[in-house]
Structure 1
Amino acid sequence: MFKEAVYHRPKNNYAYPYDENTLHIQLRTKKNDIDHVFLIHGDPFIWEDGEWQTDETIMEKSGSDQLFDYWFVEIKPEYRRLRYCFVLETEEEKAVYTEKGFYEEVPLDDIAYHFCFPFLNRKDVFTAPLWVKETVWYQIFPERFGNGNSELNPEGTVPWGSEDPKPDSFFGGDFQGVIDHLDHLTELGINGLYFTPIFKAYSNHKYDTIDYMEIDPQFGDKETFRTLVQECHKRGIRVMLDAVFNHSGYYFAPFQDVLENGVNSPYYQWFHMWENEVETEPLPNYDAFAFVSHMPKLNTEHPEVKKYLLDVARYWIEEFDIDGWRLDVANEVDHAFWRDFRRTVKSVKPEAYILGEIWHDSMPWLQGDQFDAVMNYPFTNAVLKYFTQQYSLNQFKDQITHVQHMYPQNVNEVSFNLLDSHDTPRILTYAKGNKDAVKLMYLFQMSFEGTPCIYYGDEIGMTGGEDPDCRKCMVWEKDEQDRDIFRFVQQLISLRKSESAFGNESRFRFKEHEDVLVYEKQKDDQTLVFIMNPTKQLKTVTLNDKVKRKLKMEERATLNDSHVTIAPYGYFVYEKE
């Protein structure tokens, strides 16, 4: 028994309240090292004849990655208190793992040996908005989605789609262009819109904010935006805005004052200045996003900055009824600010969704006091690499299993699962034009736990490399759209809504197979099995259970008795008896 690999801590993703009556407990062990794990648990105040009274519950192996096995159990403590330890068994050995270390037998004379979950307080349950679990997002880069009012075109605007985008291109996208095409989103099945920044800014991408309280005039005015939100809500579509609170733009009025007056500016402390005089070239002598001089970092610890930004957070919800905030470069802003941000947002709209842009392990932000979710880039990376044959099946399963076990289950259920964005190459380009590989990516994304997001235009086969090429103008001419991809994504969204085990809040588990991807989704009385073949070879799979029915999807496989023959880049999805 490799005891050095055994790990548990009674907090974060290893022990947490799933709801007001239920605890989830997880243990990590060395891969393929332990045969059985039992949880020994009891109320710390129930004793008889000087001995602590306990129950024993077997733990389930919930997944494995390259190095570790993960064990899981759900417990409903009668009095909402719990002390516990773990019994680990192999054929040759038994060990009891406690907070004080390893023992041969369960210590019952003193509860101080044992891990402690002091009390299941309702306030400590991680609660994200319920509606997010049923949401399929669509990301819009406003400058490139639709030009509905040419009178708003900024100087230098070129005709729609007339050339490939450059870093400083303007094509005239605006709010009216989005309103004009909401039926496209409704037809696809979208019920959440995520807009990259819409506030007044110098650039086309608007991540260099000039005024957080004003709409950029190229997009329209506040009344047009109000109409856009109202039209979305009529269609059952929620609206999430992008906020850049880590840094402002170069032309943000307080920063302009600092440039002019240096240390004598009343806004000098609004930023992280290094010297009395400000220099922007060749490198800034102040903190900025990366070393970009026109994106000076805001001092969110300063009370005036904090008040200003929290007023921004409150204003757009109160005045325009938006449904969420996506927070740019969220990991570089102090935790105290985000706690105040959450209190502010939730006090105005308790069901607002707070999403952080963080590309790495984000547990410190996901403990119920800051964000509801983060952008799930570890998921993105695994899906892209596996379905383009850069990852082996085992590497993919290792990575996805690791993603699943990084956070509590109620966090995973609202995790923002994207395949690409305005910051990355489009998936069809990443897949080198392999449309069938892209379909498999969508099938996995839409059937995985969490809330999926589609980048505008991907659903009609748009292409594009690194920024700015991934920010091309939306193609609205039907004869230039790939309607086959559109219908496929449309069908997946429909299945996600109509089949209880297909989408969120269903249990996901990999099944063993050597060279094709097989996994199950189970919810209530329904179990769906997904088989995918992201290779150039024909594959045959022997089924270990009976097929109750095939899901009505395009035929990419042939069923013959208990054997399924799957075409290259094909798939087979069925409900088992």
Structure 2
Amino acid sequence: MLDAQTFDSRDVRCKQPYGAVPAGTRVNLALRPLRTGGFSEGLLIAYFESRNEERLEVPMEWKGMDGDRDVFQVVLDTGDYVGLVWYSFRLMGLDGRQEELGPYQLTVYDGAERVPGWFGEGMTYQIFPDRFRRSRIPDPTGMVGGRTVHQDWEEMPEYRPDARGEVRNRDFFGGDFRGVMEKLPYLQDLGVETIYFCPVFEAPENHRYGTGDYEKIDPMLGTEEDFRALCAAAHRLGMKVMLDGVFNHQGFVSRYFNGDGFYPEPGACQSQDSPYYKWYNFSHWPDKYDSWWGIYSLPAVNESEPSYRDYIFGGENSIVRRWLRAGADAWRLDVADELPDDFVHGIHQAARETDPNAVVIGEVWEDGSTKIAYGVRRKHILGGHCDGLMNYPFRNSLLGYLMGGKAEDFRAAMETIRENYPPFAWRTAMNFLGTHDTPRILTLLGCGTDGQDHDKDWRAAYHMTESQYLLGRTKLMLGALVLFAFPGSPTVYYGDEAGMEGFEDPFNRRTYPWGSEDQTLLDWYTALGKARKELPALRRGDLFWGQTQGRLLTFLRQGEGEPVLAAVNVGLKSAAVEVPWPARDWMTGKELAPGRRLLPPLSGWLLVPRQS
């Protein structure tokens, strides 16, 4: 006798306030069973997970009738608790039967701290530094890692194993900071407000995720002075800079581990008297040690070691503080869920102490509110840790919709995130369709597959047919429209706006095709970037769902400035869209009268009120 209206955590009649709540909130809960069910009593059962699973049972008070429904109410006082509360209900019938509902999730966060809002308002552009732009062909002589440099900017990155059977990623193209400086006007025209760099510190591999020296800009990128100049120039153009902090592991070839003896100072691999020896967990010194996912070239760090903590965030001149002072505005934490919570908190605290407007974004591939790593429920977005997360749930859900799924499934997935995340984390999410860790979004949408049913040589050589490319481009344009209209920072992986293709690493890390961009795509992204920069509703407005049926997705952003309606039809038939006011499509300039208007197949609108 219980139906969906008995309790809906997203219905204000059943739960107030909506979604996650700051500690100290008194949450009003109500059950609304049909009177014909014959229920006489209700009971709330709440588990406070991070308080040793404290269990609370509170009788619910009958408040009378609402139409044909009984109403049982109770108040759940969160007090000073921070963490997840799992709550459920028990209804008792006049005939002695019992019905259970739940469990439901309540996220309780520390709301005492102000989270800077700038990151979630504007567009972010992710740069893989070696492959974006070079100002010259560098000489790798004397650099760590035994590097080679491609003379031709358009060559294929090395992907085959070397003579030792390894793909060592020691081939570079020489992208540098001066090259980025040359293209700052391009980024500004695109609408970029945050430049997110993959790692920039000295490291032996071209991806630089095995850090060699946190204190030194990789010499192929330039100098610390070049970095400072780049940050200053970006700031003058209204852009901020985010760095990639890789603090869970380092390079086998690093000044700290020093596995090949490149650095003059003895590392943990040379001497147990090295100041860095305690940074690693050796099962047999020096050849057996913990490493990231078992990859020997990425020795894992012991994050509980006090000297390492002091070096990364504790000391006055620690790495986190030092590079913020040099001009960075934010940190993205690589594999944040593999860093201890108190380590992440230390980074967050150091960042805020150095710059009250600094932001910390964490790499998490799942719902960050429920993430469990190493048997521990993580505190990523409970306050004082990450200000926002990479929004893989957004990417996965939107990709599913674009590739044949239903709009209502995308809506359901996003409502789960909105309900589970504190408002600051919802608004400060890093939303994207592709990154350096995923196949190029254009290739996925055009081919409909990641190519893993073929060998690597096939994937390396593959280029889409004209029909595949056109389909992929059309779907990418629609996906980008949703991306830029949605709450959170729309993040573009370098070259997606130019039509870059490719499957997994390193094919998704080819060099930017300067002079060969797809102008149709580039114009579309530029228009979206302009919309994100100029329309307050897209920057700070609330989200209201419209039509989400099958292949049609519409939603409204409003609450700041004039409202904006996003409408996307990924179906093969026209769909009727309810246009609420005399409108103009931001993307094409087309004017629409209010009422039911047909949105053609595989097309989208970004509608703003038409000025009379």
- TM-score, L = length of structure 1: 0.80
Letter in 1 for 2:154: S
Q: In the alignment, does 2:417 pair up with 1:377?
A: no
Aligned to 1:148: 135
For 1:152 and 1:186, locate their aligned partners in 2 and report how far apart those are by CA, in whole Å.
30
Give yes or no for the alignment of 1:86 onto 2:29. yes
Please list, as runs of the form range in 1=range in 2, the aligned pairs for 1:426-437 lying within 5 A after superposition.
426-432=440-446, 433=469, 434-437=472-475
Alignment of 1:233-252 (within 5 A): 233-252=235-254
1:183–1:259 CA distance, 2 compared to 1 (3 A): same
Match for residue 552 of structure 2 among 516, 529, 540: 516
Of 277, 282, 301 in structure 2, the residue corresponding to residue 268 of structure 1 is 277
Structure 1 match to 2:364: 358
Match for residue 541 of structure 1?
Answer: 576
TM-superposed CA distance for 1:339, in Å, is 1.5
Amino acid at match of 2:129: P
Tell me how far 1:96 sits from its aligned partner: 5.2
Whether the aligned pair in 2 keeps the contact of 1:306 and 1:337 (CA below 8 Å) is: yes
Once the two structures are TM-superposed, the CA of residue 338 in structure 1 deviates from its matched residue by 1.5
For the residue of structure 2 that corresponds to 1:421, the secondary structure is: coil
Note the C-alpha offset of 1:171: 1.0
Q: 1:272 to 1:510 in 2, by over 3 A?
A: farther
Structure 1 residue corresponding to 2:429, chosen from 415, 426, 433: 415
**SS of residue in 1 equivalent to 2:382:** coil
Residue 169 of structure 1 and its aligned partner are, at CA, apart by 2.4
Residue 283 of structure 2 aligns to a residue whose secondary structure is coil
Instruction: Give yes or no for contact 1:547–1:574 (8 Å, CA) kept in 2.
Output: no
- What is the CA deviation profile of residues 409-446 of structure 1, one whole-angstrom value per residue up to 9, with x for unaligned ones? 22101111111111111111111132110011100010
Q: What SS does the aligned partner of 1:453 have?
A: strand
Task: Give matches, 1:13-162, under 5 Å.
Answer: 32-34=4-6, 59=12, 71=15, 73=17, 83-92=26-35, 98=44, 100-103=57-60, 105=62, 114-118=75-79, 124-152=111-139, 156-162=148-154
The Cα shift of 1:152 comes to: 4.8
For residue 305 of structure 1, the aligned residue among 308, 318, 328 is: 308
Contact 1:138 1:192 in 2 (8 A): yes
Corresponding residue for residue 219 of structure 1: 221
Q: Is the 8 A contact 1:246 1:333 kept in 2?
A: yes
1:287 and 1:502 map into 2 onto residues whose CA distance is 45
Q: Is the 8 A contact 2:552 2:569 kept in 1?
A: yes
- 1:55 alignment partner in structure 2: none
- Partner of 2:356, secondary structure, is coil
- State the match for 2:499 in structure 1: 461
Q: State the match for 1:494 in structure 2.
A: 530
Q: 2:255 aligns with which of 242, 253, 256?
A: 253
Structure 2 length as normaliser, TM-score?
A: 0.75
- 1:255-302 CA distance string (max 9 Å, x none): 134664465655332112223x332xxxxx322110111111111111
Following TM superposition, by how much is the alpha carbon of 1:496 offset from its aligned partner in structure 2, in angstroms?
Answer: 2.1
Cα separation, 2, equivalents of 1:278 and 1:501? 57
Cα separation, 1, equivalents of 2:194 and 2:187: 9
1:127 counterpart letter in structure 2: R
RMSD: 3.1
The code of the aligned residue for 1:399 comes to: A
**Partner secondary structure for residue 538 of structure 1:** coil
Indicate if the aligned counterparts of 1:355 and 1:372 stay in contact, CA closer than 8 A.
Answer: yes
> In structure 1, how many angstroms separate the alpha carbons of the residues matched to 2:182 and 2:26?
59
Q: Which amino acid aligns with 1:156?
A: T
Count of equivalent residues: 501
**In the alignment, structure 1 residue 473 sits paired with structure 2 residue 503:** no
Q: 1:239 to 1:82 in 2, by over 3 A?
A: closer
Q: Matched residues in 2 for 1:60 and 1:487: separation? A: 45
> What is the letter of the counterpart of residue 447 of structure 1?
A
Q: CA deviation at 1:36?
A: 7.8
2:328 maps to 1:322: yes
The answer on whether the counterparts of 1:146 and 1:174 sit within 8 Å (CA) in structure 2 is: yes
Shift of 1:481: 1.0
Cα gap change, 1:235/1:399 in structure 2, threshold over 3 Å: closer, same or farther? same
Contact 2:120-2:428 within 8 A present in 1 as well: yes
1:572 partnered with 2:580: no
Residue of structure 1 equivalent to 2:481: 443
CA distance in 1, matches of 2:210, 2:9: 53
The percentage of counterpart residues that share the same residue type is 28
Distance 1:186 1:429 in 2: 26
Residues 248, 295 of structure 1: 8 Å contact kept: yes
Aligned to 2:459: none
- 1:511, 1:520 within 8 Å by CA — same for their partners in 2? no
CA gap of 1:343–1:559, structure 2 versus 1, over 3 A, is closer
Matched-pair contact (CA < 8 Å) for 1:508–1:519 = yes
In 2, Cα distance between the equivalents of 1:237 and 1:395? Answer: 35
Is contact 1:159–1:171 with CA below 8 Å preserved after alignment?
A: yes
Q: What amino acid maps onto 1:359 in structure 2?
A: W
Cα gap change, 1:153 to 1:124, in 2 (>3 Å) = same
CA contact (8 A) 2:177 2:230 kept: yes
Superposition pairs of residues 520-535 of structure 1, within 5 angstroms: 520-524=556-560, 526-535=562-571
* CA deviation after TM superposition for structure 1 residue 120, in Å: 12
Secondary structure of 2:582's counterpart equals: strand
Runs of 4+ in 1 over 6 A off after TM superposition: 35-38, 119-123
1:403 CA drift (Å): 2.2
In structure 2, stretches of 5+ residues that fail to align are: 47-56, 65-73, 83-108, 142-146, 159-168, 259-265, 370-378, 447-468
The 10-residue stretch of structure 1 (341-350 or 508-517) with the greater mean CA deviation from structure 2 = 508-517
- Paired letter, 2:115: A
Which residue in the other structure is 2:348 paired with? 342
- Cα–Cα, structure 1 residues 120 and 496, in superposed 2: closer, same or farther, change >3 Å? farther
1:15-40 superposed Cα distances (whole Å, 9 cap, x missing partner): xxxxxxxxxxxxxxx8x3437889xx
Q: CA deviation at 1:576?
A: 7.0
CA contact (8 A) 2:582 2:593 kept: no
Contact 2:387 2:424 in 1 (8 A): no
Residue 483 of structure 1 is matched in structure 2 by 519
Deviations 1:98-123 (A, max 9, x none): 4524535269xxxxx74114379997
Q: Distance in 2 between matches of 1:82 and 1:414?
A: 22
Once the two structures are superposed, residues 201-234 of structure 1 have per-residue CA deviations (whole angstroms, 9 ceiling, x without a partner) of 1011111111100111111111111111111111
Does the Cα contact within 8 Å between 2:271 and 2:277 map onto a contact in 1?
Answer: yes
Within 2, Cα distance between the matches of 1:214 and 1:438?
38
Partner of 2:157: 165
**Residue type at the aligned position of 2:6:** I
Determine the structure 1 residue equivalent to 2:161: none
Query: In the alignment, does 2:382 pair up with 1:367?
Result: yes
- Code of the residue aligned with 1:416 in structure 2: it is M
- Partner amino acid, structure 1, of 2:79: P
The amino acid across from 1:337 in the alignment is F
Whole-angstrom CA distance in 2 between matches of 1:118 and 1:392: 40
Deviation sequence 1:547-575 (CA, Å, 0-9, x none): 3222332279x968733222221123435
Q: 2:195 aligns with which of 193, 196, 209?
A: 193
Q: Does 1:207 pair with 2:219?
A: no
CA deviation map 1:74-98 (0-9, x unaligned): 69x9xx9664542222443577564
What amino acid is the match of 1:209?
T
Q: What's the CA shift for 1:252? A: 1.9
